[in-house]
């Protein structure tokens, strides 16, 4: 079950955290994986771990906010892979602040990566999937794309947009062989979250509060999100499209 043998996958933001866990999980399931990150050494580190486990992976550099970078990555993949079966739009950035604490530049910066990044990579690889009438696009949204979170105005705005993009693409291409879903994690212990914690006056207190947000009383682990990504990308998830797949430790249960 959940085999990705003979599949080719590309994961953005795969130099660390959830993206790295997804890339490694996909490779263990048999996929050839392109590990994409704007930080080449980080991407290469993920590739080295995959290869050490006898998996197949290559590192590529891409700033997902740039349309030209997305087009270049398509051409680089075509050099030795005839097609892409699975695209995981995981790259994302965050920001802490209310409306009054958020500048236009802050909002534009998050939108460029979190929303336009999904748009750019999906638009670049979708034509090939439509031509083959086969493909999976998986976007990483957030529980902040389903419910509001205090002091996360820009972040929630962009993640709600990712959920909307997901549902729109899913409906547009449901009869053309392409499935599109998104995962909405609660708080997960990643370098991304660690960086956000440093923005608080008392990082230790902030960590405890973040862990307590989940009904299970802890944050998630990257591999737990990667397991769901594997299911959604595999043939066992073939009846799922347009879904905002919530993995939040019970955060939203009482909302």
Question: How far is the C-alpha of 91 from the C-alpha of 113, rounded, in Å?
Answer: 7
Residue 111 a catalytic site member: no
222 backbone dihedrals φ, ψ, rounded to 5°:
-55, -40
Hey, which bits of the chain come out as E strands? 8-12, 32-37, 56-61, 86-89, 135-140, 178-185, 244-247
Please tell me which residue in 155, 200, 207, 231 is annotated as part of the active site.
155
Residues 6+ apart with CB under 8 A from 204: none
How buried is residue 201: exposed, middle or buried, by Cβ count under 10 Å (0-12/13-18/19+)? exposed
Q: In the block, which residue shows the tokens 């409906």?
A: 171
- Catalytic positions: 155
């Amino acid at each position: 079950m959940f085999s990705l043998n003979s599949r080719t996958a590309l994961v953005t933001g795969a130099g660390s955290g959830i993206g790295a866990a997804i890339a490694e999980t996909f490779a263990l399931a048999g996929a050839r994986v392109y590990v994409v990150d704007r930080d080449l050494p980080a991407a290469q580190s993920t590739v080295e771990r995959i290869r050490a486990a006898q998996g197949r992976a290559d590192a590529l550099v891409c700033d997902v906010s740039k349309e030209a970078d997305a087009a270049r990555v398509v051409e680089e993949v075509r050099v030795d892979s005839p097609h892409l079966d699975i695209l995981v739009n995981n790259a994302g950035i965050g920001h802490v602040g209310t409306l009054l604490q958020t500048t236009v530049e802050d909002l534009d910066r998050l939108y460029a990566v979190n929303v336009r990044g999904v748009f750019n990579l999906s638009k670049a690889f979708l034509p090939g999937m439509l031509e083959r009438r086969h493909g999976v696009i998986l976007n990483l949204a957030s529980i902040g794309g389903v419910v509001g979170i205090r002091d996360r105005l820009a972040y929630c705005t962009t993640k709600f947009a990712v959920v909307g993009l997901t549902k729109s693409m899913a409906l547009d291409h449901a009869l053309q062989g392409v499935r599109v879903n998104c995962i909405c994690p609660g708080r997960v212990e990643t370098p991304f979250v660690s960086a956000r914690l440093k923005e608080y006056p008392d990082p230790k207190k902030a960590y405890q509060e973040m862990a307590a947000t989940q009904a299970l009383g802890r944050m998630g682990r990257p591999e737990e999100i990667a397991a769901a990504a594997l299911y959604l990308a595999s043939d066992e998830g073939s009846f799922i499209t347009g879904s905002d797949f919530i993995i939040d430790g019970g955060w939203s249960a009482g909302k």
